[in-house]
Each structure stands twice: as structure tokens, then as C-alpha cells.
């Protein structure tokens, strides 16, 4: 590692830490700036007395000044304490780990499908530029990219609802059974929402991959490679894909980062008990600690994967460190 | 000359299909021969079809281009068999320095590995042998051999351009097509490179087509030159004849045009602009700018005629003079 590279790595790490801190602060301010508070919500009972409301406020740490709340928030975060959910009174961390363990396999599978299919479709359409295959693949990608997610989800339910389960993670009536049959049941439930996630994501991959490849195809070094007598397939691999990799890797890292954010719309349509659904419900009930926790995890994950993408691009393109 | 020319282009035509369905006739019947050890200049204003001609001879035009004509290396036609019949000749027999050669290296691989690549591909050399050869080639163009391990972005523009020439020589080609190889380089480096090309032509018998805007370069480096206008050859002959015994008004204006300080826009200093190539041209394409046009120029296209020994020009005035002297 030369000094320039080291400099780059340190800068990227420093930048990531800064980003996390700014987002943490922003999260805190944002949720307090929103109208209404959890207490007014929780105590929305006909005879709630000021005393009751005050007691609740104290219980959830909302009686202190905003500054005090901010420092307590940061201190607790450092101890890994995300607070207690206003809704079920359980530690946010506990709620989130449950939600995440449901979200990650489903959204992860969907993202993986989107990456594989999107890259294939992008490479193929670029390679068949301005030929029927290109028009077909590109227009399909644009269509799926622009369909509203809920609508796509409903279409899937309508078309495949007869063959595959469409709500929840498990069949509530299937009691007993082996761990294996339970897992299989979960997998069946996962298919439609994962496909919905894949369909909403893959269009973007197709378009990014296609344009990245087309851009490289127009470069002088590709023409030079042809002039050198290198066979077309080798040029595609050694020159074109290799140079188009950078934007693709960045996109992959970002979408992997977003996996822990869940898929709010898809999870809502398919009532998949993941983090997206939890965020949706937390918004409805102004459950700040849950929201903050969810956003914290999303932030950390996206910032981390961004950092990974930055460090990978250092490997992929020697110009990056300049 | 009786011997079979090393490189021969016959009646080359190129049409580009434009996005709106019309056709642009970029090269219209270009022919020339090239012998071992010879440096042929190819000059003309921007857009006259120099690059298109060069790319067509290696079968490198995009699929929107339609090509007709013959390209022969030592008498063997190479284009008609399609991609698979040209590919073995590329870089092995006929190599190229591209216009904008600075960008001819992939940014993610070392310069050396890209010079070595065609040697391996065409079975010239491999392993340590090939790497040593790449180092020698770089040194020949004035770049330290150790720089082979470096990436293109670590080179200056001029170095990259010189490395492109080194890369073109990797497989000891018989023919080198150099499309403005010295544009943008400073005068010193430019002179060095021209000298290098000249000495390679002398020593190795390399045949060079040198595309340039720069007429002094033609005078210095070339034995013969072809003047192109609107996709055709207007005049072709020895550099001496073109300077002192030109038979085409365009050549005369071109060579007489007052040099400006930059030296590059000299060609453009003839008033007016060349005709568009996306519609058919009736009569002489140079008519609108010609200072000696006659009636027949508006209706009939002048054809290339022999006007001296190994000297051809396409201008009605020559026929006129011929008929007067007869
Ligand atoms: N891919 C293409 N599609 C359509 N038209 C093209 C294409 N490439 C070149 N042309 C046209 O063909 C004509 C000849 O272009 P060419 O690049 O060969 O000129 P040139 O003599 O090399 O010019 P310059 O001195 O600027 O390099 C121009 O009118 C140009 O617009
Ligand atoms: S043919 Fe006529 S218009 Fe063309 S260059 Fe000769 S004199 Fe000029
Ligand atoms: Mg050109």
C-alpha cells in the first residue's frame, strides 16, 4: 500500500464515521420535530389526566429537555441500548433482531435474484445493442422499474395466489411437523414477496449495467483491442466487463446495504413480519425508539457497504486513489 | 512498378447508415498502393474520410457501415471473408495507431501487459521473452522499459501516444496505419516520432500510411501523398509533384494556404466548407470553393486521370489542357 492508497482508505473511513454521526443526529432531530408525541397517542383515552400523561412521559424519558434527551440518546447508543419500544415495551434491539431475521432471508433472496437476472439482462441487451433482444429486455426492465410496487405485488397475488401462499411467513394451521417441513413452509411463503422485491429492483440493474457497458464499448481501447485481433468474447470479458465493473459493484453494494431496510411496500402487501412492516407500524404509532433503531441499522449497513464499495473500487480501478 | 504491392486498396466505398435511415457516403472509390519501406501521406480537411478509410481497411468500422472494395496484403484479399478472415492479419500484418491514441489503453491494466497481449495472441513471443520485448519497444519510443509495469494514467498524454506506437510495433507488422500519431505532441517529440517512423520504414521495410493535417509533416516524412476531398482522392503523387507540379486546385490552395501559428488549422483556411456527404453530389465536389471552375464542373464528376508518372488528379482542367495541347 503506498501513501496515496493509505490516504484514500483513511479518508473513506473517516468520511463513513462522519456520515454515521450526522445521520444519528439528524434522526434524533427529525423525530422530535414531527408533530404529535407518543404520549399524546398512548394516552388517547377519554379521561387521561395530566398526571397520567406526565407519568408516561417520565417513563419514556420524554420529560427532560431536548438537549438532555440527545445526550442520553447518544450515551445509550454507545452502550448498544436502542431504548424501549413505546408499543410493546420490549427493548428495541430485541424487536429489531426478530424483524431482521425475518427480513434478511426474504429481501436478501429477492436482491440476489435481481442482481443475477439484472446483470444478465443488462449485459445481453448491451451486447445486442439496437437489435430485437435489446428492445425487448430494455423495455421490460423499464416497465418493471416504473410499476408501483403495491400493484406488482397485487398482480403476483392475483396470478400466483392459487399456487403459493400470499400472507405471513408460515401456515398458522400447520401445527407440529418437523423443522424441515417448517423451513419448507417458510420458503414457500417467501417466494412471492422475494420475486416482488426482485422485480422492482432488477430493472435498475439492467439499465445501469447496459449503459455502463455501452459506454465502455465506445471507448478507444475497445476498438484497439479489436484491431489487435482479440476475439470478441475475450474483449467482452477482458476489456468491456472489466471496465464496466465499477458502477455495477457500487450498485450491488448499495442494494445489499438496503437489504436490512426491508421492503416496506412488499412486506406490507404480503404481511411479511419484517423490518419494513415494523417501520410502517412504528410510523403509525409514532414509536420513535423503534424508528430510530431501524434507521440506525439501515444507516450503518448502507454506510458500511458504501465503504466496502469504495475499497473494492480501489482494487478494481487504479485511478481511484488519485 | 511491376511487383505486387505490399498493400493495395481498390475502389473502397463506405456508406454509413444514419439513424434516420439515410445514407452517408463517407468514402467514395478510394484506391492506392503501398510498397515496403514507403511512407504515404493521407491529407485533407476534417471529415473528408481519412479515418474511415483507414478503419475500413482493417474491417474495424461499426455495423452501421457498409463497405465495398478490395483490400489486399501481398495480393491476398482480406475483407471479403468477413471478421474471421481479417482477424489473423490484424496487428500481425497490419497494425494501427489510432487518432486520439492516448485512450487506446484500458485504464485497469498495465501498459506492458497490453503490449504483450498481441504478441501472445499471434504467437510472436510469450512470458519473459515477450515482456523483455515490450520493454525494448518502449525504450525505442523513448520510454524507460520499467514503465511497462505502470498503469496508463501514470503516463502523460505524450507518453501514452508514444506507448501506442510501441504497442503497434509489437508483432512486427508489415504495414502501419498511423492516424495523426503526433497530434498534440510538442514539436521535439513530434520530430522524434516522425524520425522513428522513417527509420523503421528504412530499416525494417515497414510501410506506413500517415494521416495528418500537418503539411510540413507530409513534406518531411512522406515520399508520396494522397489528398482527399469529400470522400475521394483528389490528387495522388510524389510530395515533390504535389508541391511544385500540382494538377488540382484544391491541392494548390491547400499547400499555398498561409500557415497559422498553431499549424493545425491550416487546412481549414480555404474559404467555404466541403459538401455534405449524406446526399448525392453532382459534378465536382470542390466546385463551390474552386477558383478555376468551368462549366462542365457543375454537371460532370471529374475522374482520376494520370497526369504524370505515378501522379493522378481528378480535375476537368487537366482534360482541358490535354485537349488543347493535342
Ligand atoms: N460512425 C459513423 N456514423 C456516421 N457517420 C460517420 C461515422 N464515422 C464517420 N462518419 C462521417 O464520415 C465522414 C468522414 O469521417 P472521418 O472521421 O473519416 O473523417 P476524417 O477525415 O478522419 O476527419 P478528421 O480529420 O476530423 O479526423 C464524416 O462526414 C463523418 O461525419
Ligand atoms: S473539376 Fe472544376 S471545380 Fe473541380 S477542381 Fe477542377 S476546376 Fe475546380
Ligand atoms: Mg480522422
Q: Where are the domains of chain A?
A: 92-316
In a domain, B192, yes or no: no
B253 Cβ inside 6 Å of ligand 2? no
| Residue B26 predicted with pLDDT over 50 | yes
Residue with the larger pLDDT of the pair B190 and B24: B24
The per-residue pLDDT for B325 is 64
Give phi and psi for A237, each to the nearest 5: -75, -55
Q: What is the percentage of chain B residues whose pLDDT exceeds 70?
A: 94
Whole-number pLDDT of residue A304? 93
B193 in a structural domain:
no
Alpha helices for B169-306 (secondary structure H): 187-204, 215-221, 239-244, 249-256
A185: CB partners within 8 A, 6+ apart: A170, A171, A174, A177
CA distance B105 to chain A (A): 5
pLDDT at A46: 57
B121 CB neighbour count, 10 Å cutoff: 21
Query: CA A244 to CA A219: how far, in whole Å?
Result: 11
Per-residue pLDDT of chain A (322 residues; tens, 9 = 90+): 678 888 889 999 999 999 988 988 888 887 776 655 555 555 555 566 777 777 777 766 666 777 888 888 888 888 878 888 888 888 999 999 999 999 999 999 999 999 999 999 999 999 988 889 999 999 999 999 999 999 999 999 999 999 999 888 888 777 777 888 889 999 999 999 999 999 999 999 999 999 999 999 999 999 999 999 999 999 999 999 999 998 899 999 989 988 888 788 999 999 999 999 999 999 898 888 888 888 888 888 999 999 999 999 888 888 887 7
CB contact under 8 A, B104 and A317: no
For ligand 1, whether the C-beta of B226 sits within 6 Å is no
> B194: which residues sit within 8 A by CB, 6+ positions away?
B182, B217, B220, B221
Residue with the larger pLDDT of the pair B186 and B248: B248
Q: Give the pLDDT confidence score for residue B272 in this predicted structure.
A: 87
ipTM of the complex: 0.89
Distance CA A209, CA A215 (A): 10
Say how far apart CA B112 and CA B116 lie, in whole Å.
6
Asked whether residue B246 falls in the same domain as residue B294, the answer is yes
Distance A3 CA to ligand 3 centre (A): 41
* Mean pLDDT, residues B165-182 taken together: 93
- Looking at the structure, do residues B242 and B112 belong to the same domain, yes or no? no
| Residue of B43, B51, B54, B179 with the most ligand 1 atoms within 8 Å of its CB, for mutation | B51
Does B195 reside within a domain?
no
pLDDT reported for residue B96: 95
- B38 assigned to some structural domain: yes
Q: Are residues B228 and B83 in the same domain?
A: yes
Supply the pLDDT for residue A1: 62
Q: Are residues B78 and B179 in the same domain?
A: yes
Q: A128, A229, A233: which to substitute to probe chain B, counting the most B Cβ within 10 Å?
A: A229
Give the range of the structural domain holding residue B271, as residue numbers without chain letter: 7-93+175-186+203-325
- Record the cell numbers describing residue A211, joined without a space: 449503459
| Domain-embedded: residue B79 | yes
- B181 and B57 belong to one structural domain: yes
Does B13 share its domain with B109?
A: no
pLDDT at B249 over 50: yes
pLDDT, averaged across chain B: 90
- For residues A6, A7, A12, A16, the Cα torsion angle rounded to the nearest 10 degrees is 100
B77 forms beta bridges with B72
Q: Are residues B131 and B26 in the same domain?
A: no
Q: Bridge-partner residues for B33, per DSSP?
A: B8
* Phi, psi angle pair for B238, to nearest 5°: -65, 150
Q: Note whether residue B196 is domain-resident.
A: no
Q: Would B2 be classed as within a structural domain?
A: no
B94 has which bridge partners? B90, B175
List b or e across A182-214, with b for residues whose CB sees 16 or more CB atoms inside 10 angstroms: eeebbeebbbbbbbbbbbbbbbbbbbbbbebbb
Whether B267 shows a pLDDT value over 50: the answer reads no
Q: How many domains does chain B have?
A: 2
If asked whether residues B240 and B315 sit together in one domain, one would say yes
Q: Does B108 fall in a domain? A: yes
Q: Which residues of A touch B88 (CB under 8 A)?
A: 229
- Whether domain A92-316 has CATH 1.10.3720.10: the reply is yes
Question: What CATH code is carried by the domain that includes residue B63?
Answer: 3.40.50.300
CB contact at 8 A, B29 and B35: no
Sheet bearing B311-313, strands edge to edge: B94-97, B175-179, B207-211, B39-43, B224-229, B232-238, B311-313, B305-308
The Cα B220–Cα B214 span in angstroms is 10
- The 10 Å Cβ neighbour count of residue B6 is 22
Tens digits of residue pLDDT in B139-163:
988 899 999 999 999 998 888 988 9
Please state the atom number of ligand 2 nearest to the C-alpha of residue B291: 8
Question: Do B298 and B207 share a domain, yes or no?
Answer: yes
| Phi, psi torsion values for A82, nearest 5 degrees | -95, 5
A227 and B91 in contact by Cβ < 8 A? yes
Does B133 contact ligand 2 (Cβ within 6 A)?
Answer: no
What does pTM read for this prediction? Answer: 0.83
Same domain, B162 and B18: no
Name the one residue in this structure whose C-alpha cell is 434516420.
B20
pLDDT tens string B183-234: 877 888 888 888 888 888 988 899 999 998 888 889 889 999 999 999 999 9
Tell me: pLDDT of B326 over 80.
no
- Among A193, A213, A188, residue whose Cα is nearest residue A262: A193
Express each pLDDT in B74-92 by its tens digit: 999 999 998 889 999 999 9
Q: Are residues B232 and B118 part of one domain? A: no
User: Does one domain contain both B53 and B152?
Assistant: no
Amino acid at each position: 500500500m503506498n501513501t496515496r492508497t493509505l490516504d484514500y482508505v483513511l479518508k473513506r473511513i473517516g468520511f463513513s464515521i462522519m456520515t454515521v454521526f450526522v445521520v444519528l443526529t439528524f434522526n434524533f432531530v427529525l423525530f422530535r420535530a414531527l408533530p404529535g408525541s407518543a404520549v399524546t397517542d398512548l394516552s388517547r383515552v377519554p379521561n387521561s389526566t395530566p398526571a397520567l400523561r406526565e407519568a408516561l412521559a417520565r417513563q419514556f424519558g420524554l420529560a427532560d429537555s431536548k438537549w438532555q434527551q440527545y445526550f442520553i440518546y447518544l450515551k445509550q447508543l454507545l452502550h448498544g441500548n436502542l431504548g424501549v419500544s413505546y408499543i410493546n415495551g420490549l427493548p428495541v434491539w430485541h424487536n429489531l433482531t426478530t424483524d431482521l431475521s425475518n427480513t434478511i432471508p426474504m429481501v436478501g433472496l429477492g436482491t440476489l435474484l435481481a442482481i443475477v437476472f439484472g446483470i444478465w439482462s443488462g449485459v445481453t441487451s448491451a451486447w445486442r445493442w439496437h437489435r430485437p433482444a435489446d428492445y425487448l429486455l430494455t423495455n421490460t426492465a423499464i416497465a418493471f422499474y416504473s410499476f408501483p410496487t403495491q400493484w406488482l405485488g397485487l398482480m403476483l397475488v392475483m396470478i400466483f395466489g392459487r399456487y403459493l401462499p400470499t400472507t405471513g411467513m408460515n401456515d398458522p394451521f400447520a401445527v407440529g411437523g418437523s423443522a424441515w417441513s417448517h423451513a419448507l413452509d417458510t420458503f414457500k411463503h417467501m417466494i412471492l414477496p422475494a420475486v416482488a422485491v426482485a422485480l422492482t429492483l432488477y430493472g435498475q440493474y439492467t439499465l445501469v449495467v447496459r449503459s455502463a457497458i455501452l459506454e465502455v464499448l465506445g471507448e478507444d481501447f475497445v476498438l484497439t483491442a479489436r484491431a489487435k485481433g482479440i476475439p470478441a468474447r475475450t474483449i467482452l470479458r477482458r476489456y468491456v466487463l472489466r471496465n464496466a465493473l465499477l458502477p455495477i459493484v457500487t450498485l450491488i453494494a448499495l442494494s445489499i446495504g438496503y437489504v436490512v431496510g426491508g421492503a416496506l411496500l412488499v412486506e406490507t402487501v404480503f404481511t411479511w413480519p419484517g423490518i419494513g412492516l415494523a417501520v410502517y407500524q412504528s410510523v403509525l404509532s409514532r414509536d420513535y425508539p423503534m424508528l430510530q433503531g431501524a434507521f440506525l441499522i439501515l444507516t450503518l449497513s448502507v454506510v458500511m457497504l458504501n465503504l466496502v464499495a469504495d475499497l473494492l473500487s480501489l482494487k478494481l480501478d487504479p485511478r481511484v486513489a488519485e | 512498378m511491376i511487383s505486387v504491392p505490399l498493400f493495395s486498396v481498390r475502389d473502397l466505398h463506405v456508406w454509413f447508415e444514419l439513424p434516420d435511415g439515410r445514407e452517408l457516403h463517407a468514402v467514395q472509390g478510394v484506391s492506392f498502393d503501398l510498397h515496403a519501406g514507403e511512407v504515404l501521406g493521407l491529407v485533407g480537411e476534417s471529415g473528408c474520410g481519412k479515418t474511415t478509410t483507414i478503419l475500413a481497411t482493417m474491417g474495424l468500422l461499426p455495423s452501421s457501415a457498409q463497405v465495398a472494395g478490395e483490400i489486399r496484403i501481398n495480393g491476398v484479399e482480406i475483407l471479403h471473408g468477413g471478421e474471421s478472415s481479417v482477424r489473423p492479419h490484424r496487428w500481425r500484418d497490419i497494425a494501427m495507431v489510432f487518432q486520439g491514441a492516448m485512450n487506446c489503453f484500458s485504464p485497469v491494466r498495465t501498459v506492458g501487459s497490453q503490449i504483450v497481449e498481441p504478441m501472445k495472441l499471434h504467437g510472436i513471443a510469450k512470458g519473459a521473452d515477450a515482456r523483455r520485448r515490450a520493454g525494448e519497444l518502449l525504450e525505442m519510443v523513448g520510454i524507460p522499459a520499467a514503465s511497462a509495469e505502470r498503469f496508463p494514467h501514470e503516463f502523460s498524454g505524450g507518453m501514452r501516444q508514444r506507448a501506442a506506437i510501441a504497442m503497434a510495433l509489437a508483432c512486427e507488422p508489415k504495414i502501419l496505419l498511423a492516424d495523426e500519431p503526433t497530434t498534440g505532441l510538442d514539436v521535439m517529440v513530434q520530430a522524434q516520432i516522425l524520425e522513428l517512423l522513417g527509420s523503421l520504414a528504412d530499416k525494417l521495410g515497414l510501410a506506413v500510411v500517415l494521416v495528418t493535417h500537418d503539411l510540413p509533416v507530409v513534406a518531411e516524412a512522406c515520399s508520396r501523398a494522397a489528398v482527399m476531398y469529400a470522400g475521394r482522392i483528389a490528387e495522388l503523387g510524389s510530395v515533390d509533384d504535389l508541391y511544385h507540379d500540382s494538377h488540382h486546385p484544391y491541392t494548390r490552395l491547400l499547400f499555398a494556404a498561409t500557415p497559422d501559428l498553431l499549424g493545425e488549422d491550416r487546412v481549414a483556411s480555404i474559404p467555404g466548407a466541403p459538401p455534405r456527404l449524406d446526399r448525392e453530389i453532382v459534378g465536382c465536389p470542390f466546385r463551390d470553393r474552386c477558383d478555376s471552375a468551368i462549366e462542365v464542373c457543375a454537371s460532370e464528376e471529374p475522374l482520376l486521370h494520370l497526369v504524370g508518372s505515378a501522379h493522378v488528379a481528378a480535375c476537368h482542367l487537366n482534360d482541358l489542357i490535354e485537349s488543347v495541347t493535342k
